[in-house]
Amino acid sequence: MIRAANRGDLHSLEAIERQSPGSAGWAAEAYLDYDCRVAEQGGRVVAFLVVRRVAPDEAEILNVVVDPAARRQGWARRLIGEFLAEFDGTCWLEVRESNVAARLLYDSMGFQVAGARSGYYTEPSESAVVMTIQTCYREGRRTGKNG
């Protein structure tokens, strides 16, 4: 089940991030200032997505984190897919250059590389790959469409 995050989820968000060293690592409470969604399995939060709306037709994925025990089960794809299905416009994200699994996921969902940001990440220092997708309606259903 995917739903909006609430204050009761903060401990779970923090726990998932502690187990995911490459994640953004913000204070979990700050995520509630944005569009923050959680995925639950068996009544337990197993993943979350944080999106900042920059403008009515522009958004940025700030963080996608899946509990290590729930990885490779499609949670990140479902969280991102649900957001994109409701959004009409351009969506951006940055991903660590070394995070091949995430980059492959984003690519498979229709995101395209738009550039890079040298030294964007710290601990360890690493470049970010900037990716984007343009969502639109096509024949009554929403799809990712770049190009």
Which of the following is catalytic: 17, 31, 94, 121?
A: 94
What is the distance between the alpha carbons of residues 65 and 85, in angstroms, rounded to a whole number? Answer: 19
What is the distance between the alpha carbons of residues 130 and 137, in angstroms, rounded to a whole number? Answer: 24
Q: Please, which residues bridge with residue 35 across strands?
A: 51
Which of the following is catalytic: 17, 31, 34, 106?
A: 106
Active site residue 106: yes
What is the distance between the alpha carbons of residues 31 and 35, in angstroms, rounded to a whole number? Answer: 8
Maximum distance among all Cα pairs of the chain, rounded to whole angstroms: 45
Active site residue 86: no
Active-site residue list: 94, 106
